[in-house]
Amino acid sequence: MMKFLLTICLLLATCSSTWAGERPSATPAVPDAIHGKVLQTLDAGAYTYLHLKAASGDVWAAVYKAPIKVGAEVSVNHVVLMKNFTSKTLKRTFPTIYLGMLKPATGAAAPTAVVQAGGGPDPRVAKAHGANAYTIAQVIAQRNKLRGKTVVIRGRVVKYNPEIMGRNWVHLRDGSAAGGPQSDEILVTTTSATKVGAIVTARGSVRTNADFGAGYAYPVLVEHATLQP
């Protein structure tokens, strides 16, 4: 999914989390990033709103608050396209706006990037222990029965989309199915931080048939999860 989120991440009209003080209706963006020249900046609370002259025309974007000068060339990564986004602080509704993370200047320390593991060793990870423990393949296979219930799964992080709409979008695999790389991979949304390659235990609620628009639809995911090593 995203060098997104997001993405995704993580953000949505069908999800409950929002940026502090804002209540948007959302759809994940198609592009990975928005590039453009800054025409105007507006600081509001913890965020900076940017009016950009991009290749596709004038657009608005919002990032965590940063000192950005008019005329600067910037890139906003991991974008999510929001529609009819209302900023209560600015008392303004944006018909469309991209929310994301500002790409740092050359030589600056970059924020945790969206990375997908490619190849590498067998992702097989031992099943979690205790009540409500399942393999990822079991959650996928039993998703209708488990809908709305709390599950505990354990897997290796193969994709990570941080800080998109107040959550992190994490793809886990555990090698529990023989039907191909996607049959034992599941999306988890969480406020816990992690990194690609880490093995984590996720506890969250099963959601089925989640359609976030723009082609991002999932037959099953685990949301509002906590992650433990």
Q: What digits encode the pLDDT tens for the residues 47-67?
A: 789 999 998 889 998 887 778
Instruction: Looking at the structure, tell me whether residues 222 and 119 fall in a common domain.
Output: yes
Structure tokens at 53: 């002259």
- For 136, phi and psi rounded to 5 degrees? -65, -40
| 5: in domain | no
Secondary structure element (H or E) that encloses residue 74, with its range: strand 73-87
Cα angle value 212/221/161 (rounded, 5°): 70
* Domain region containing 192: 115-228
| 190: in domain | yes
**Could you give the number of structural domains in the chain?**
2
- How many beta carbons lie within 10 A of that of residue 220, not counting itself? 20
Instruction: Looking at the structure, tell me whether residues 136 and 213 fall in a common domain.
Output: yes
Would you state the pLDDT for residue 1? 38
Structure tokens at 181: 């790389």
Instruction: Looking at the structure, tell me whether residues 52 and 137 fall in a common domain.
Output: no
Q: Give the domain-ending residue among 76, 102, 128.
A: 102
| 55: in domain | yes
Q: Give the domain-ending residue among 56, 81, 102.
A: 102
CATH of the domain at 147: 2.40.50.140
Q: What digits encode the pLDDT tens for the residues 39-49?
A: 999 988 767 89
Q: Give the domain-ending residue among 58, 80, 102.
A: 102
Cα angle value 161/211/102 (rounded, 5°): 30
Q: Whole-prediction pTM value?
A: 0.51
202 pLDDT above the threshold of 70: yes
| 12: in domain | no
Q: What digits encode the pLDDT tens for the residues 77-106?
A: 777 777 888 888 888 899 988 877 776 543
Provide the pairing of β-strand 92-102 with 199-211. unpaired
Instruction: Looking at the structure, tell me whether residues 126 and 154 fall in a common domain.
Output: yes
Q: 82 pairs with which residues across the strands?
A: 26, 97
Instruction: Looking at the structure, tell me whether residues 95 and 133 fall in a common domain.
Output: no
Instruction: Looking at the structure, tell me whether residues 92 and 129 fall in a common domain.
Output: no
Would you state the pLDDT for residue 179? 54
**Bigger pLDDT: 135 or 121?**
135
168 pLDDT band (50/70/90 cuts)?
A: confident
Instruction: Looking at the structure, tell me whether residues 49 and 88 fall in a common domain.
Output: yes
| 20: in domain | no
Instruction: Looking at the structure, tell me whether residues 38 and 122 fall in a common domain.
Output: no
Q: Give the mean pLDDT of the chain.
A: 75
| 192: in domain | yes
Q: What percent of the chain has pLDDT over 90?
A: 32
Instruction: Looking at the structure, tell me whether residues 121 and 217 fall in a common domain.
Output: yes
| 13: in domain | no
